[in-house]
Amino acid sequence: MSLRESGRVGESGRSAPACPAALLTDGRVGLRVNTGRMSQAAPVPSVVDHSVHSRYSDPGRHAAALRAIPAEIPDVSAVARNVIVHYRASGRELPTSTDQDIHSRWLSVILDRDAERHPAPLTAAREPVERVQGCCRDHTLLSVGVLRQHGIPARSRIGFASYFSPTWNHDHVIVEMWNGARWLRFDPEVAEPSAALPTPLDIPAGPAAPFRTAAEVWQGHRDGSLDVETFGVDESVPVIRGRWFVRDYVIREVAHRFGDELLLWDNWGAMTGPEDDSADGGAVDVLIDEVAALLVAADAGDLAAERGLLRRYRDDERLRPGAKVLRADPRGPDLIEVML
């Protein structure tokens, strides 16, 4: 079992950015509480300030490179696709020498790895096999980092997309940004519109939308309107799907909302994995029911619900990551304990 210091030394062995104290609420939440002193860019209906970096989106020495990218959705998305290649869905044989890229939890580390291979602006074309290996979480983190670098409120949303397959709902992460009037969702991984996703740069929200949040899917499972066994990593992948998977993703969703944009294979708190949780008497289900209700209400603009959610996240160790997580490996069975 490997233990590494993070916030001082990341998993790559290189320095990871310390989160400035101003970005922490109380050492337990990754974004500053919105007290009414909004940034100039953001009179935003939110209880945290999404226009400032979390410790995960902080680009470190690469801040100028992010500022050089126009803060327009097509430009941001193009750079994310140019820097990051999906480790599993690219359709290419990627080098094993860079396969550990996928565990780059910090945006600064992703950008360090890109800079080592490409001493050129982020807009300069990279060959797919030379890009940083990652997934939707990393495309989104880079996009969120660019927008926050410009002072634009942005956050990652965790859920499931129906637009990659007509018969499956893939676990997915997309960007949500404040455009001055509303929260707008876009998928930086998708380069072109399709019949299943006509507007990848402005994805509709709601329980019947092409992207559903984890909370919406959990509620659909609980009320019987969704077949939760069609939600997971992929139709071809057994076990990593269904009820336990969606339930764990609700915890990830609330963490990302409050600036703890961890890897999709980081595990903590009440996450059970595919193990039988019947011994807890349903306590975790009750917790997830309550959290999902608060998430959905917050998305509808209920700030009181979002404040309640933030309090729960601060105070309930079943929801928020502590000093360490158990990191799984999507390519193998290993679980590694990692300090944050």
Q: What is the pLDDT of residue 316?
A: 97
What is the tally of structural domains in the chain? 1
> How far, CA to CA in Å, does 80 sit from each of 240, 293, 309?
26, 32, 30
For residue range 49-62, what is the model confidence (pLDDT) as tens digits?
A: 999 999 999 999 99
136 assigned to some structural domain: yes
Confidence of residue 29 (pLDDT cuts 50, 70, 90): low
155 assigned to some structural domain: yes
6 assigned to some structural domain: no
Q: Which domain holds residue 187?
A: 21-339
Answer for the pair 284, 319: CB distance below 8 angstroms, yes or no: no
**What's the average model confidence in pLDDT over 82-106?**
96
Task: Look at the pTM and tell me if it is higher than 0.85.
Answer: yes
Q: Rounded mean pLDDT of the chain?
A: 89
Give phi and psi for 298, each to the nearest 5.
-60, -40
- Pick the more confident residue, 44 or 216: 216
How many other β-carbons are positioned within 10 Å of the β-carbon of residue 229?
Answer: 12
5 assigned to some structural domain: no
79 assigned to some structural domain: yes
Which residues make Cβ contacts (< 8 Å) with residue 87, sequence separation at least 6?
94, 99, 101, 102, 133, 134, 135, 330
Q: What is the pLDDT of residue 274?
A: 85
For residue range 170-179, what is the model confidence (pLDDT) as tens digits?
A: 999 999 999 9
160 assigned to some structural domain: yes
2 assigned to some structural domain: no
Lowest mean pLDDT among 18-22, 199-203, 284-288, 336-340: 18-22
**What's the average model confidence in pLDDT over 119-136?**
97
Confidence of residue 281 (pLDDT cuts 50, 70, 90): low
In percent, how much of the chain has pLDDT > 90? 81
Q: What is the pLDDT of residue 229?
A: 97
12 assigned to some structural domain: no
Confidence of residue 6 (pLDDT cuts 50, 70, 90): very low
Answer for the pair 203, 190: CB distance below 8 angstroms, yes or no: no
Q: What is the pLDDT of residue 308?
A: 98
Confidence of residue 206 (pLDDT cuts 50, 70, 90): confident
Indicate if the pLDDT at residue 193 is higher than 60: yes
**What's the average model confidence in pLDDT over 293-302?**
97
